[in-house]
Structure 1
Amino acid sequence: MQNQSFQPKKKSKKKPDNRLIFRYTGLAFQMMATLGIAVFAGYKIDQRTGWSFPFFLIILSLIALAVILRQIIKDTSRNE
């Protein structure tokens, strides 16, 4: 028999990939900006039309959400 000393396995501490953090942080800010611009534009258009129902605010917000969801799906399904 060989004289082998017991050596505990070293745990490797892997740092998270900073590229992913920056990519998804940037995506979050892009989502907020897109939705904010759509809400603001819809609000201003509704003010100009003088309608009591906020039609453009709702429509532009839903369109912005659809664009945001499409962007999220496209970015997360990408193989790198």
Structure 2
Amino acid sequence: MENPLQPKKSSRKPNQLYRYAGLAFQMMASLGLAVFAGYKLDQRTGWRIPVFMIIFSLLALAVILWQIIKDTRRND
């Protein structure tokens, strides 16, 4: 019989929490950097439509999605 005063062990390891938290931070940072670089490049060109910001954002999202798929398949 289990002791009710003893805390239950979680099924996930703390390492997984840190890994996914790090991955989330990396995603935010890379997307933010891509948007910032595209914004600055659009300012430099003077175009009305933010072409570089859209392109860099979509490229960053594709790389992030690929990285998530690669990381989750490797450790399952």
Q: 1:31 — aligned with what? A: 27
TM-score, structure 2 normalization: 0.87
What percentage of aligned pairs have identical amino acids? 65
Q: How many residues align?
A: 72
The structure whose residues are more often helix, as a share, is 2
Over 2 Å off, 4+ runs: none
Given candidates 17, 23, 39, the residue that maps to 1:21 is 17
Structure 1 counterpart of 2:60: 64
Q: CA–CA distance in 2 between the matches of 1:46 and 1:10?
A: 63
Structure 2 unmatched runs, 5+: none
Root-mean-square deviation (Å): 1.6
Give CA-to-partner distance per residue, 1:19-63, whole Å, 9 cap, x none.
Answer: 000000000000000000000000000000000000000000000
